[in-house]
Amino acid sequence: MNIALINENSQADKNSMIETALKRAVEPLGHTVHNYGMYTADDEAQLTYVQNGILAAVLLNGGAAEYVVTGCGTGEGAMLALNSFPGVLCGHVADPLDAYTFAQVNDGNAVALPFALKNGWGQELNLEYTFSKLFGEGSGNGYPRDRVVPEQRNKKILDQVRRNNFKPFPELLLGLDEDLVKGALAGEHFQELFFPAVRDDAVADAVRKILAA
């Protein structure tokens, strides 16, 4: 699985720590981490949590990533931004129990973590344990076990509702403020990571059109 890491500006100085914890948890499972930044608080390309949502949606709808790990100070803004887009189902995950239940019950493809709240000593350990529970035991298996059938049924119903309620992503992307989207795609390594990995031609074409404008 290709996992994308995205940090917004308020928590950008933690990018290296988060990347290390994520890789420790998922690389032994055979997953790959692509770090889209921000890499430091002083990066030229500054991402807001709203732009995290745009970038995450581009990666997931384009097939360049199969999962996105992101967040902000509280995790709430990033979660709301990501869930504003089709093809993205983002949970708010603060600890290993959140991670496990979101993976097993909700079977999403993105998480938003609160990188500022309740974090001090041991933050890197909490992150590593959280990522291990998020990715280490599969997804969509249901929890608790006596609720597997209704939980899986409810997830399918939610997916149908979301498909009905959103416009096609390339159309939606081109309808957003051009400068806002350009800023979301301005990361130092975005193009070198995204274009070799993208699998949806319509999304790739929309991104090229925006970047060329």
* pTM as predicted: 0.95
Q: Order across the sheet with 2-5: list the strands.
A: 32-35, 2-5, 67-72, 110-114, 90-92
Whole-angstrom Cα distance, residue 52 to residue 81?
7
Does 118 have pLDDT greater than 90?
no
Please state, as a whole number, how many other Cβ atoms lie within 10 Å of the Cβ of residue 35.
21
pLDDT digits (tens, 9 = 90+) for 125-183: 999 999 999 999 999 998 998 888 998 999 999 999 999 999 999 999 999 999 999 99
φ, ψ for residue 32 (rounded to 5)? -115, 135
CATH numbers and ranges of domains, the chain: 2-212 (3.40.1400.10)
- Look at residues 70, 49, 4 and name the one whose alpha carbon lies nearest to residue 31: 4
Give the largest CA-CA distance in the chain. 53
Q: Which helix (H) or strand (E) holds 32?
A: strand 32-35
Mean pLDDT for the stretch of residues 113-132: 94
